[in-house]
Amino acid sequence: MDGAVIPPTKLESASCHGGKATMQASARAAGKSGMLDKLAMDYPQGPHDQPQSMCPAFGSLRVGLRMRRVATILSGSACCVYGLTFTSHFYGARRSVGYVPFDSETLVTGQLFEDIRKAVRETARPDDYDAVVIINLCVPTASGVPLDLLPKEIDGVRIIGIDVPGFGVPTHAEAKDVLAGAMLKYARGEAERGAVARPRGPIAEGKRVSLIGELFPADPPGVAALLAPMGLSLAPGMPAREWRDLYGALDCTVAAAVHPFYTATIREFVAAGRPIVGSAPVGLDGTADWLDAIGKAADIGGAAIDSAKAKILPAIKGVLASNQVSARMVVSGYEGSELLVARILIEAGATIPYVGTALPRTEWSNADREWLEARGTHVQYRASLEQDVGAMREVKPDLAVGTTPLVQAAKEAGIPAVYFTNMVSARPLFGVAGAASLAAIVVAQTAGRERFSRMIDFFAPLQESAAC
Ligand code: SF4
């Protein structure tokens, strides 16, 4: 098949709000079965098998836009591209988003593929870019637009074509992995074939750890300080910020899956022979266990591991003791760090009967799940909004941490609530800094409970008269 596509029968009425079966059937008929099967294997679906938040492709777009010397182009319906472009600039992209528009005619005749090929050729300028990323959204994917037929490289500029349909990738978090994994695979192939560029800046000697996950900027330096007593330093993390950092990430001694859902990325580290360590340095127990696991995977002696723990654990203990939380909470979100956040809060004194995450269960969060379950917390993977709201109504917490619609439902019920992304993404999570920052926000937010109750009482008569 050379650019010819399946006619968009019924596709124009399909979207993230419906038509999933039609889209999937069309994509399979158009030759995309292998891609869909791989997505289903990497990102197994559950009750939350349809986007309940932003378009999943935003995750891939964000990873591309955050990289130096990488151009990112979308192929999809204009309304989807408008939303994705708006969201990326809302989150401060400060980069142009490329777009190859289509209509029914260019889709049916295969002209869209030719337009994409032309756009990629014109964009692949080696003076400006190391790589060009082209992302098929729902309709071009369902129509079988064959990005795998694009050249793999033009004048030394790598061409990365990926399908990121809402009917195949459940969350935007996993879509980050789709692009990060595709890039790491490409870079691993280059490194296996010969010499590659060094990462920019000085490279630490000795053994290095690559952190997997999009992290708050203060977290990597904090983790580097935790590792230093073991003679370990940080390699570039994933998702990478520049193409040459991909080689630096692969050149690590250990890959740390601090965000546990990067399945495709982890597969590339494994293929490169790197051991993977799950969980993360959160709170007291989490940090102690993580340092043990990292030290062991990097073949560090027990004395050096003990020395690293002795240096940091008393400080974390002190911070938790002086930031005690006395609150009953529910925690839910779609970032993939929900279990880690709950661990810190429980160590700070919170009671958390329910943690919901839109991400799937993987072996890299097993330690966190077991730790939480041992303390009576129900952990719901692939949690739907309905499950999160149901748990919030049942638990009646002092504070709900969750997605925007959950926060809205909580506030309507007079329950203080805070948006997970704002709470977590804008704060450190690891080591001493993480323990201090999360507990502090809970103390501040739960103070508003009585005010919420007064508001509910105040507006109750109005609601009753409106219902009459
Ligand atoms: S590309 Fe995103 S916004 Fe567009 S239909 Fe698919 S999931 Fe929805």
- 81 CA distance to ligand 1 middle (Å): 9
SS3 268: helix
Distance CA 380, CA 333 (A): 11
Q: Is residue 224 within 8 Å of 177, Cβ to Cβ?
A: no
In order of 189, 208, 278, 292, 379, the CA distances from 364 in angstroms are 25, 19, 4, 15, 14
Distance CA 214, CA 203 (A): 21
Count of beta carbons in the 10 Å neighbourhood of residue 386 = 11
- Cis peptide, bond prior to residue 221, ω within 30 of zero: no
Count of beta carbons in the 10 Å neighbourhood of residue 468 = 4
Q: Which amino acid is at 433?
A: A
- What is the DSSP code (8-state) at residue 199? P
- The string of pLDDT tens digits covering residues 419-450 is 988 777 788 999 999 988 887 788 777 776 66
Among 20, 80, 171, 174, which residue has the most ligand 1 atoms within 8 Å of its CB, making it the best to mutate?
80
Which position has the token pair 């501040």? 444
- 79 CA distance to ligand 1 middle (Å): 9
Q: Which amino acid is at 259?
A: H
* Closest residue to atom 4 of ligand 1, CA basis: 80
Which pLDDT value is given to residue 202?
75
For each of the domains in the chain, give its residue range(s) and CATH number, in order of start.
Answer: 11-170 (3.40.50.1980), 208-317 (3.40.50.1980), 323-454 (3.40.50.1980)
- 412 CA distance to ligand 1 middle (Å): 29
Which pLDDT value is given to residue 3?
43
Among 43, 49, 77, which residue has the most ligand 1 atoms within 8 Å of its CB, making it the best to mutate?
77
The DSSP bridge pattern shows strands 276-277 and 254-256 to be: parallel
Which pLDDT value is given to residue 354?
98
Which position has the token pair 């003791």? 321
Q: Is residue 54 within 8 Å of 170, Cβ to Cβ?
A: no
294 CB burial (10 A radius; 0-12, 13-18, 19+): buried
Which pLDDT value is given to residue 218?
93
Count of beta carbons in the 10 Å neighbourhood of residue 93 = 17
Which pairs with CB-CB distance under 8 Å and at least 24 residues apart come from 295-304? 295/230, 297/253, 297/254, 298/207, 298/209, 298/230, 298/232, 298/253, 298/254, 300/207, 300/230, 300/231, 300/232, 304/229, 304/230, 304/231
From first CA to last CA, the distance across the chain in angstroms is 63
Distance CA 175, CA 60 (A): 5
Residues 6+ apart with CB under 8 A from 362: 260, 261, 263, 278
Give residue ranges with CB within 6 A of ligand 1: 15-16, 51, 55-57, 76-77, 80, 83, 137-138, 166
* Closest residue to atom 7 of ligand 1, CA basis: 166
134: its two tokens? 């082209």
**Kind plus residue range of the DSSP H or E element containing 369:** helix 366-373
User: Helices 302-322 and 431-446, interaxial angle, to 10°?
Assistant: 20
Which pLDDT value is given to residue 220?
96
126: its two tokens? 């080696």
Q: Is residue 244 within 8 Å of 196, Cβ to Cβ?
A: yes
Ligand 1 atom, smallest distance to 57 CA = 2
- 83 CA distance to ligand 1 middle (Å): 9
Alpha-carbon torsion (445, 448, 449, 452), positive or negative: negative
Q: How far is CA 360 from the centre of its chain?
A: 12
Distance CA 49, CA 382 (A): 8
Which pLDDT value is given to residue 52?
67
Phi, psi dihedrals of residue 143, rounded to the nearest 5°: -85, -5
Mean pLDDT per 10-residue interval, the chain, length 468 residues: 46 61 91 94 77 84 96 96 92 90 90 97 98 97 95 97 94 96 98 90 87 95 96 97 97 98 98 98 97 98 96 95 91 95 95 96 97 98 94 95 93 90 84 87 73 65 58
- What is the DSSP code (8-state) at residue 17? T
Q: Helix H segments across 66-155? A: 78-90, 104-109, 111-123, 138-142
**Kind plus residue range of the DSSP H or E element containing 375:** none
- 20 CA distance to ligand 1 middle (Å): 11
- 40 CA distance to ligand 1 middle (Å): 17
Closest CA to 285 of 258, 313, 304: 313
Which pLDDT value is given to residue 11?
55
Which pLDDT value is given to residue 99?
96
Q: Which amino acid is at 140?
A: P
